[in-house]
Copies of this chain bind each other. A is one copy, B any other.
Amino acid sequence: MEVTRTNFKDSLSTVYSAIEEADFLAIDGEFSGISDGPNVSALTNGLDTPEERYMKLKKHSMDFLLFQFGLCTFTYDQAESKYVIKTFNFYIFPKPFNRTSPDTKFICQSSSIDFLASQGFDFNKVFRHGIPYLNQEEEVQLREQYEERRSQSNGSGNPSYISPNPNKGPGSVPEEHREYIGRVDNVHLLSYRFPKGLHVETLETEKKERYIQISKVDDEERKRRERQKQEREQEELNDAVGFSRVIHAISKSGKLVVGHNMLLDVMHTIHQFYCVLPEVQNTHHLYMNTVGFPSYDTAQEQLHEAGYDAFITGLCFISMANYLGTAFYTRYNASLTSGVSARLFLMRIIDIPYLNISGPDLQPKRDHVLYVTFPKEWKTSDLYQLFSAFGNIQVSWIDDTSAFVSLSQTDQHLQCSTSLF
Contact = CB atoms under 8 A, between A and B. Distances in A.
Interface in A116-135: 116-118, 122-124, 126-128
**Copy number of this protein in the oligomer?**
2
Interface in A166-225: 168, 171-175
Interface in A336-395: 381-382, 384-385, 388, 392
A285 interface: no
Interface stretch (A99-107, A230-238, A398-406): A99-107
Contacts of A117: 124, 127-128
A127 B113 contact: yes
A29 interface: no
Interface stretch (A69-77, A88-96, A143-151): A88-96
A168 B114 contact: no
Name, among A95, A127, A384, the residue most crowded by chain B CB atoms within 10 Å (CB to CB).
A127
A171 B265 CA distance: 44
B104 A110 contact: yes
B110 A107 contact: no
A111 B103 contact: yes
Given A124-B122, A168-B385, A171-B388, A93 B110 contact: yes
Contacts of A172: 381-382, 384-385, 388
A258 B113 CA distance: 33
Given A168-B381, A172-B385, A105 B108 contact: yes
Contacts of A46: none
A159 interface: no
Contact of A175 (B33, B174, B392): B392
A357 B128 CA distance: 39
Nearest to A123: B123
Contacts of A175: 392
15 contacts: A33-B105, A65-B108, A94-B110, A95-B114, A96-B110, A103-B109, A103-B110, A105-B107, A106-B107, A106-B110, A117-B127, A124-B124, A172-B388, A173-B381, A174-B381
Interface of A: 32-33, 36, 65, 93-96, 103-111, 113-114, 116-118, 122-124, 126-128, 168, 171-175, 381-382, 384-385, 388, 392
